[in-house]
Amino acid sequence: MTNTGLTPLETLAAKVKEAAKVLNIASAQERNNAIERIAANLLSHEEEILAANKKDIATAKENGIAPAMIDRLALTSERIAAIAAACRQVITLPDPLGKVDFGATLPNGLEMTRVKVPLGVIGIIYEARPNVTVDAAVLCLKAGNACLLKGGKEALHSNMTLAKIMADALREAGLPAHGIALVEDTSRETATQMMRLNGYLDVLIPRGGAGLIRAVVANATVPVIETGVGNCHIYVDETADLAMAVDIIDNAKTSRPSVCNAVETILLHENIAGELLPKLKERLDQHQVTWRGCPRTQAILGEEIATATEEDYATEYNDYIICCKVVQDMEEALMHIDRYSTRHSEAIITEDYAKGQEFTRRIDAAAVYINASTRFTDGGEFGFGAEIGISTQKLHARGPMGLDQLTSWKYILRGNGQIRK
């Protein structure tokens, strides 16, 4: 506690909230100028960023962090250039603010408009990827929001340097430096405090693995948007084009297994399982995909296939592992999906019009596909230009969250003396 009665985190959050009041009403030009300044300063401070990142890498290696994670942590000249280029890409996107998305002249003559405004202050808790520090801050800024960032401790030096460069850029662009702020205390206690910053944060977005998301949902008292967990399915109907099915499943499983829109379980109609499975196995063998199957899958592919357990069906492996279940009909597939789905992305492969319609109607998920790979659930692919995550909840934002999902609304009513009877 300081002598104001605020914790250090609250003191910082109060400054961010003050900064937000200016950012929230800054013009699109002012916000874009600040983003350009951020891009330019990232490039001109490359050495400083790389030096800070080196410290993080050295500590990570001392601590025996896995090579894949060190790769995600590492910055290079090329990666910094890519981050700056991504900032400039955001400048080119249309302004999400100020749009009137609803309006009417009321019977009493009041002229009502509903206008898009910033959310205010956005908190983001994420893991050890320093590029997220810039990506997230710049998207928040483009939508007129201040942000309070808390990254993983592994990236602390990198994040401190990046946050300072961005705060300085804001100041140089004539906006308050605290519009982008980093929580430098990476303890769990401070993370929990951050989840309870009611009155300071308008929303908190966790970006990371299932454990982080669960901790935020369990502890947060501020509004949260859940992102990311994807236990995705593809159902292959008896009428499917089997060559298409092989291509789509291969793509959905192996093009990038570590991401949330990769497929985890396939459900095959019993009438095509016998013909499809050997072809599919041959294709996935090229990527050393491990199979876990139901007894009927095992009967077709042979006993070297491990038995798929309840836990397998419930797990998002994010790896070269696929679960397979042979089903009697689409109804059984729908029941399986309803039970295990995280409501992210689900697909059917079918040539039957009515089955496709029924599948899209019945599936409860952010994205439902007919005859396409689940891998398309992505802000860039959907044409949003950029995204801050993929929401798997139903409130406020569902699916890829672009700039539009980082805004709120206000009603403006212009009258000439109206009173309510």
Does 366 engage in binding with a copy of itself (CB under 8 A)?
yes
Stretch that binds a copy of itself, among 40-48, 162-170, 181-189, 412-420 (CB under 8 A): 412-420
Query: How would you classify the pairing of strands 263-269 and 321-327?
Result: parallel
Q: Which two tokens stand for residue 60?
A: 């990570």
Per-residue x/- track, 184-203, a copy of itself (CB under 8 A): --------------x---xx
Does 339 engage in binding with a copy of itself (CB under 8 A)?
no
Ranges assigned E (strand) in 241-366 = 263-269, 290-293, 306-307, 321-327, 345-349
CB of 30 to a copy of itself, least distance (A): 14
CB 343 within 8 A of CB 365: yes
SS3 for 390? strand
Exactly one of 48, 241, 319, 352 binds a copy of itself (CB under 8 A); that residue is 241
Does 95 engage in binding with a copy of itself (CB under 8 A)?
no
Does 417 engage in binding with a copy of itself (CB under 8 A)?
yes
Instruction: Report how far residue 70's alpha carbon sits from residue 128's, in angstroms, rounded to the nearest whole number.
Output: 9
Q: Quick count: other Cβ atoms within 10 Å of Cβ 253?
A: 27
Q: Which two tokens stand for residue 380?
A: 């860039």
SS3 for 321? strand
Stretch that binds a copy of itself, among 165-173, 185-193, 304-312, 358-366 (CB under 8 A): 358-366
Does 382 engage in binding with a copy of itself (CB under 8 A)?
yes
Residues 123-152 that bind a copy of itself (CB under 8 A): none
Does 409 engage in binding with a copy of itself (CB under 8 A)?
yes
Question: Which residues are paired to 111 by β-bridges?
Answer: 105, 414
Helix (H) or strand (E) holding 295: helix 295-301
Nearer to a copy of itself, 170 or 248 (CB): 248
Nearer to a copy of itself, 248 or 289 (CB): 248
Does 414 engage in binding with a copy of itself (CB under 8 A)?
yes
Exactly one of 193, 341, 373, 392 binds a copy of itself (CB under 8 A); that residue is 373
Instruction: Report how far residue 2's alpha carbon sits from residue 206's, in angstroms, rounded to the nearest whole number.
Output: 28
Ranges assigned E (strand) in 224-294 = 232-236, 263-269, 290-293
Cβ-based neighbours of 51, under 8 Å, separated by 6 or more: none
Q: Which two tokens stand for residue 177?
A: 């430096």
# residues contacting a copy of itself (CB under 8 A): 70
Nearer to a copy of itself, 71 or 410 (CB): 410
Does 229 engage in binding with a copy of itself (CB under 8 A)?
no
> Which region, left, alpha or beta, applies to residue 193 given φ > 0 means left and ψ of -120 to 50 means alpha?
alpha
Does 365 engage in binding with a copy of itself (CB under 8 A)?
yes
Residues near a copy of itself (CB under 8 A) are 21, 24-25, 104, 106, 110, 112, 114, 117, 119-120, 198, 202-203, 217-221, 223-225, 241, 244, 247-248, 250-252, 255, 338, 356, 360-362, 364-373, 375-377, 381-383, 393-396, 398-399, 408-420
